């Protein structure tokens, strides 16, 4: 158990405790802090605190953080679509709805669990015990191609290509609204949202350079079908950049709004291109648009 003590200043006077805690503990989620309050792990001047308690200057807040439960990824016999595999790497086609690696709320049933069953011990260890072999990742509700390294040498080579922007990653998406330009580039820095730790934001503070290139494939009455190429690969980059220019990805529940008929955002990682870490040969793989994507396009065309 880890204990943190805070003393309220004048700027917190009159503020609700739960809101003050969100700022005092920026690395914690609001839901996580709420659970600490409900479990009596937050005290205000020595007494159990409630989220509606109001702060006064000089108040002492003590927060008890339980020790994290260690997670261990275990092999599970979950079917996965392997597009290519050799002694160094494999390319898999991840379905929409599958989480890439275990984490809070998703201890198993992930792509990593499936990979451990499929590959056994043949995965690079650079990503750690919860992300073995994972060179890059895509969101749970984004479908498409993902690269996996089977040894540390391959992992380092592929990661270096990503860092040098020579690793090709192309997506297709349907975005809300009609984009007039045939092509364009979004160059906007991406960082963690200042108040919602589960979201990213276009911000100058604690951010990283992010660039997304897009080309219009087809325009519909209220939507646009795009091909997008990542120059950089930040968390939620395409989803955030499209929302930033006023065209959120269709069905995106975080940066846009859910849509009837879509389980999540209409975003598919279609093409991967890279230099093989052992042979030095350029390889490129393309995944067909999945059924949910094709069905949405058909709906838009009618």
Residue with tokens 């100058």: 204
Helix (H) or strand (E) holding 112: helix 111-119
Residue 2 CB neighbours (<10 A): 9
Residue with tokens 């009609």: 178
With a CB cutoff of 8 Å and minimum separation 6, the contacts of 302 are none
As a whole number of angstroms, the distance between CA 195 and CA 59 comes to: 23
Three-state SS across 174-192?
Answer: EEECCCCCCEEEEECCEEE
Ramachandran region, residue 160 (left: φ > 0; alpha: ψ -120 to 50; beta: rest): alpha
Bridge-based pairing state of the strands 60-65 and 2-7:
antiparallel
**Nearest to residue 93, comparing CAs of 160, 143, 151, 28?**
143
As a whole number of angstroms, the distance between CA 246 and CA 111 comes to: 32
Active-site positions read 139
Question: 134 burial class (0-12, 13-18, 19+ CB within 10 angstroms)?
Answer: buried
Residue 269 CB neighbours (<10 A): 23
As a whole number of angstroms, the distance between CA 292 and CA 142 comes to: 11
Is residue 211 a contact partner of residue 186, using CB atoms and an 8 Å limit? yes
């Amino acid at each position: 158990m880890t204990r943190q003590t805070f003393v309220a200043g004048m700027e917190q006077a009159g503020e609700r405790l739960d809101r003050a805690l969100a700022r005092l503990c920026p690395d914690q989620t609001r839901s996580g802090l709420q659970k600490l309050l409900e479990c009596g792990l937050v005290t205000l001047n020595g007494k159990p605190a409630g989220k509606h308690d109001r702060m006064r200057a000089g108040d002492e807040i003590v927060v008890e953080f339980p020790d994290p439960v260690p997670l261990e990824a275990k092999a599970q016999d979950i079917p996965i679509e392997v597009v290519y595999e050799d002694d160094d790497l494999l390319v898999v086609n991840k379905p929409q709805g599958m989480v890439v690696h275990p984490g809070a709320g998703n201890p198993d049933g992930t792509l990593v669990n499936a990979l451990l069953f499929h590959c056994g011990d043949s995965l690079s260890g650079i990503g750690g015990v919860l992300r073995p072999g994972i060179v890059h990742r895509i969101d749970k509700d984004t479908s498409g191609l993902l690269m996996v390294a089977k040894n540390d040498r391959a992992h380092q080579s592929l990661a270096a290509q990503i860092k040098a922007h020579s690793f090709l990653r192309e997506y297709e998406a349907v975005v809300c609204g009609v984009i007039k330009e045939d092509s364009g580039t979004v160059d906007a820095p991406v960082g963690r949202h200042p108040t919602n730790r589960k979201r990213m934001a276009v911000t100058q503070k604690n951010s990283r350079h992010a660039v997304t290139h897009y080309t219009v494939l087809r325009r519909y009455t209220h939507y646009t079908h795009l091909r997008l190429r990542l120059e950089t690969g930040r968390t939620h980059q395409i989803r955030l950049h499209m929302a930033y220019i006023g065209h959120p990805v269709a069905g995106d529940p975080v940066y846009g709004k859910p849509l009837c008929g879509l389980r999540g955002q209409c975003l598919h990682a279609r093409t991967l291109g890279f230099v093989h870490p052992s042979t030095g040969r350029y390889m490129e793989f393309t995944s067909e648009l999945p059924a949910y994507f094709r069905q949405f396009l058909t709906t838009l065309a009618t």
